Amino acid sequence: MVYNYYMKNNIARLMVLAVFGLFPALGSAQGMVVRVDGKKVYLDTTSFKQKVTKGQSFKVILSSEKLVNPKTGNDLGEVHTYSPAGKIIEVQEKYAVGELADTAKIAVGQEAVLEEAAPAAPTAAPAAPAGQEPAATISSRRKIVYEPVEQEIVSLSQADVTAPGAQNIITLSDKGVVTVWSRGEKDTLRQELSYQISRSAQAVVLSAVPVKAGLAQIFVSVYEPSRKTFSTLVLENQNNALVQTDKLPYFMKEVGCGTDKKLWAQTPFATAGRPGSAREVTYADGQITVGKPTVSTQRNWLSGVNFYEVEKPGDSNLIYTSANGTIRLSTAKGKRAESKDLFAKAPNRVKYKQEIVDFYPSVQVFGPAGNATVAAVENKSKYGILSSAFGQYHSSNIHFMAFEKGRLNITDTLPLDGYVYDTACSDDAILTAEVLPGGNSSVVEIFK
């Protein structure tokens, strides 16, 4: 399965740190109690995601208990016991003071949650100051959330695998299982085909592109720790069974939407932990052919890269996730447009020698040339400060952006209930899979 050095192998270490109070408790709280003085409770507000205001309600988590489905054994998250609600009476730059009627059970190191402020009466939005982007709105895009499946999906695609026009959803799990699904009734997925990749290889990303004429081929990029290299397995539907027909010494990923998708390849680790430039993959003379390097990805892996005419028709811009988490666009004049906010953290990782290699969720681009929409992932931290050290996540957003006045501005946002490894793009929709508490996943189809 995908290397989980940051995610699963350190759970014991996280537990020990939590016990000794070095980090916040492993719950859904967002701020720590740092002082108790009579009925006053001092809260560290530097990790709160929302603005803290005077008069706002808050609660302190007194205890937590893991909730487990007794039938499936799935971890459903934690149930918290809270203190009675208190009020914020003072707000400073990095802390706030709250007041509780009874602080007998409150102690330094416990965590607190803010209650959402009551929505204000709707008013006309003021115009944004010159040079400042307007606030993003919650997306009204139509979506379908399919019934969860018992897999932790790390990559997915859509293509005709079982029959022409089938528009199958193809998924790759953290256990290395490739599954071909068809859409069932009442937003369910019905399994059609399945293939288990060798457990000696760590599955990273999946693509499904009809490189040959007819049904699509499935390309699964895997990392082989024993050889310290990447390769891509080619799977095909033969007599209603997935069969491996080839193995190519490249890292591969699809770029584009639906019928416009193309498959690209990179030479792995061309420089230390970095890949080479992108090469287009074609089929000629009875075999899959990888062309010469044609597009520099700025040392980024194809999993977090896209090429599109965003700036204006005729300009094939490079869009990618930078190492600091922002989405960047390389302009025709050699400059960079950058999103204002941080976006993807990478739950998808492998360990190469002594280096951790991140694979960011795909950045999707669609729409008319010169007036395109960029769709990018923001994975939200589960344990605040711990996310940058151990890679823990709990939810995500899909942000839609437009290139305006030399920068990428958010136009609308779709929140998801789980975190995201990867996205894909069909003719009609953005596809992703939200990983839910307990490791199950729901495929989400967000229409353009």
pLDDT digits (tens, 9 = 90+) for 342-378: 777 778 888 888 888 889 999 999 999 999 999 999 9
Q: Is the pLDDT of residue 20 over 60?
A: no
Q: What is the DSSP code string of 328-379? A: EEE-TTS-EEEBSS------EEEEETTEEEEEPPPPEEESSTTS-EEEEEEE
pLDDT in tens, 26-77: 333 468 999 998 999 999 988 776 778 888 888 999 988 888 777 677 777 7
In this structure, the dihedral spanned by the alpha carbons of residues 195, 198, 203 and 208, taken in order and rounded to 10 degrees, is -40
Instruction: Give percent of the chain above pLDDT 70.
Output: 86
How far is residue 208's CA from residue 226's CA, in Å, rounded to a whole number? 27
Domain 28-114 class, CATH top level: mainly beta
The answer to whether residue 18 scores a pLDDT higher than 70 is no
Question: 444: burial class by Cβ within 10 Å (0-12, 13-18, 19+)?
Answer: buried
Give the strand pairing for 143-145 and 153-159. Answer: unpaired
Question: pLDDT by residue (tens digit) across 7-16?
Answer: 444 443 333 3
**CA distances in angstroms from 154 to 123, 169, 187, listed in the order given:** 41, 13, 21
Q: What is the mean pLDDT of residues 91-112?
A: 90
Spatial neighbors of 422 by CB under 8 A, at least 6 apart, are 154, 155, 156, 205, 303, 348, 361, 362, 432, 433
Question: Cα-flanking dihedrals φ and ψ of residue 258, to 5°?
Answer: 50, -125
CA torsion, ordered 24, 151, 140, 413, to nearest 10 deg: 40
Burial profile 264-276: b = 16 or more Cβ within 10 angstroms, e = fewer: bbbbbbeeebbbb
Give the bridge partners for 251, in sequence order. 266
Q: Does domain 137-447 have CATH number 3.40.50.620?
A: no
Q: How far is CA 261 from CA 132, 220, 255, 280, 366, in A?
A: 35, 16, 6, 11, 11
Residues 416 and 407: beta-carbon distance below 8 Å: no
Domain extents in the chain: 28-114, 137-447
Q: Is the pLDDT of residue 92 over 50?
A: yes
State yes or no: pLDDT of 5 exceeds 90. Answer: no
Predicted pLDDT of residue 300: 92
301 Cβ neighbours under 8 A, 6+ residues apart:
251, 253, 266, 275, 357, 359, 360
The predicted-structure confidence for 292-336, as pLDDT tens digits, reads as follows 999 999 889 999 999 999 988 888 899 998 887 889 999 888 888
The mean pLDDT of 273-287, rounded to a whole number, is: 92
Q: H-helix or E-strand containing 79?
A: strand 75-82
What letter does residue 276 receive in the DSSP assignment? -
